[in-house]
Amino acid sequence: MSLPKPQLRDKQSPLGHDASAMKTASIFEALNLSEKNLGACTGQDAWLAEPGSQELVSLNPNTGEKLGSVQMASRTQYETVVEESARTFVTWREVPAPKRGLVVRDLGNALREKCEPLGEMVSLEMGKIRAEGIGEVQEMIDICDFAVGLSRQLCGSTMHSERPGHRMYEQWHPIGPVAIISAFNFPVAVWSWNAALAAICGDTMVWKPSPTTPLVSVAVQHICNQVMADHGLAGVFNLLIGSNEAIAKPLVADSRFPLVSFTGSVPVGRDVAQAVAARLGRSLLELGGNNAIIVAEDADLDLATRAIVFGAVGTAGQRCTSTRRVFVHESLSEKLADSLVKAYATVRIGDPLDHSTLMGPLANAAAVSTMMAAIERARAQGGEVLTGGASLPDVGPFHVQPTIMRMPLGADVLREETFAPLLYLMSFSDLDQAITAQNDVPQGLSSAIFTSGLSTGEHFLSAKGSDCGIANVNIGTSGAEIGGAFGGEKDTGGGRESGSDAWKTYMRRQTCTINWSGSLPLAQGIEFGD
């Protein structure tokens, strides 16, 4: 099989250097960003400056050039922001939940007004294509809409008491200030999953974003500040941009945060879980995903091909739900391989703000090196490159070819998550063999099967089927809706964010019993004294 040539875009923006600079300037102006920004904030007039603070430089991953910088927060500023968050919680928790929902409603509307420039800023700083950047902001808007409705439905259960003249019920109260530590690949959406729900639940929050994408978090904080100011608030949505030593580790260890939400790698997630557990706090973990699609003997190959390409190539393979492994029935193996290789040849690679680009750059040079090293390990374990396999320095410093490798079942490299557009293709003869192979990895986030058979799909969704937190039939692994709880099992961390009853994570449960009988019967029929 001959390797196709990818469709490349010019290294410079198709607009030209001057026009590209003008476009960047217009995005910055729309979002109230400047060349130098502050990285600690509790409200509209509460951006904190400190002489001599270290500067964090943000790079454009498409060109490697500097976009701007942020003054990193110090430990002194950490205390100021955390104290303000804790202070505000005392009054914010007393605001009725539907009133808190009005603040989140206005946050969603403010995001609507800034959807295009904010989405383009995501693309500019993170590298995902423009459609995905704007889609990420739409996800923020969607979770705000969801949370507004939820603010009138934070329901508890009622239970029958065994004692006459007693009533039992449970209710939910705000848990306290929440620490949100987010990752670079979804620099704003995952924050919003946590922030919108935490806010309607009566919690305040402190956000520590990825150092790879600091500017877009400053832009979001500006939007939050205006919404808070419109409601006479401060300290509900707070921001701290800084180093792990000055900000992240103190947040994790700080008992003022009963809940820490962390999105990132499995090794760091383990450290977070242990540190939070040591102080008997809660951690909400969204960690690695080594996601697989099974293509059954009766699958619609066109449908499967489109889902696999988006799942593996979208966001340059830098989604936690990206498709990394495909198990295809041996009768369809060659057809699917040919179909995927042809589809990959049409993927346009280049400037993520170019409307015709389908894949932008990886995050940095380390990500490129990691992908190339994984390809070499896969080759050493019997892998064959069907398409791709190289970096693209002529396009940009962090651009790569999306890569498909045919692999033997059971290769060790299949158990690893490589955060890049690297797809492994394996064939199988028996469905249970494929399900076993899919589950035989440490991670357990997203999974999918393509089949036209009802029983095959139901088998995949049964208790003996996929062991992942997300399981789909005739849908790819990537692109979850906000209405369902998002998260996974095993090394993925067990956390659940976004929809369904994920809101309960941000609250504390209280069981209440009211005695209106005039006597004092004890439970279990116990008699104590006269």
Count of C-beta atoms within a 10 Å radius of residue 4: 17
CA nearest neighbour of 138 among 111, 120, 117:
111
The Cα angle at residue 271 between residues 270 and 277, in degrees rounded to 5: 90
Residue 327: pLDDT band (50, 70, 90) is very high
Instruction: Report the pLDDT value the prediction gives residue 6, as an integer from 0 to 100.
Output: 52
Residue 3: pLDDT band (50, 70, 90) is very low
State the Cα–Cα distance between residues 401 and 363, nearest whole angstrom: 14
Q: What is the pLDDT of residues 193-233, one digit of tens each?
A: 999 999 999 999 999 999 999 999 999 999 999 999 999 99
Residue 2 pLDDT greater than 60, yes or no = no
Q: Can you read off the two tokens belonging to residue 434? A: 């494929």
Q: What is the pLDDT of residues 128-142, one digit of tens each?
A: 999 999 999 999 999
Instruction: Report the pLDDT value the prediction gives residue 8, as an integer from 0 to 100.
Output: 59
Report which of residues 492 and 52 the model is more confident about: 492
| Residue labelled with tokens 């009766």 | 298
Residue 14 pLDDT greater than 60, yes or no = no
Instruction: Report the pLDDT value the prediction gives residue 323, as an integer from 0 to 100.
Output: 98
Instruction: Report the pLDDT value the prediction gives residue 7, as an integer from 0 to 100.
Output: 63
Residue 386 pLDDT greater than 70, yes or no = yes
Instruction: Report the pLDDT value the prediction gives residue 5, as an integer from 0 to 100.
Output: 52
Q: What is the pLDDT of residues 282-293, one digit of tens each?
A: 999 999 999 999
CA distances from 498 to 108, 128, 316, 483 (A): 15, 22, 23, 7
Instruction: Report the pLDDT value the prediction gives residue 190, as an integer from 0 to 100.
Output: 97
Instruction: Report the pLDDT value the prediction gives residue 479, as an integer from 0 to 100.
Output: 87
Instruction: Report the pLDDT value the prediction gives residue 19, as an integer from 0 to 100.
Output: 76
Residue 11 pLDDT greater than 80, yes or no = no
Q: Residue 473 phi/psi, 5° resolution?
A: -120, 120
Q: What is the SS3 assignment for 494-512?
A: CCCEECCCHHHHHEEEEEE
Strand partners, 323: 291
Active site residues: 286, 320
Average pLDDT of the chain to the nearest whole number: 96
State the Cα–Cα distance between residues 447 and 460, nearest whole angstrom: 10
Report which of residues 341 and 52 the model is more confident about: 341
CA distances from 366 to 265, 290, 399 (A): 15, 19, 12
Sign of CA dihedral 31, 36, 38, 39: positive
Whether this prediction's pTM lies above 0.75 is answered by yes
Q: What is the mean pLDDT of residues 313-341?
A: 98
State the Cα–Cα distance between residues 251 and 240, nearest whole angstrom: 10
Q: What is the pLDDT of residues 501-512, one digit of tens each?
A: 999 999 999 999
Residue 1 pLDDT greater than 60, yes or no = no
Containing 293, the helix (H) or strand (E) segment is strand 291-295
Among the residue ranges 145-149, 369-373, 440-444, 518-522, the one predicted with the least confidence is: 518-522
Q: How far is CA 400 from the centre of its chain?
A: 23
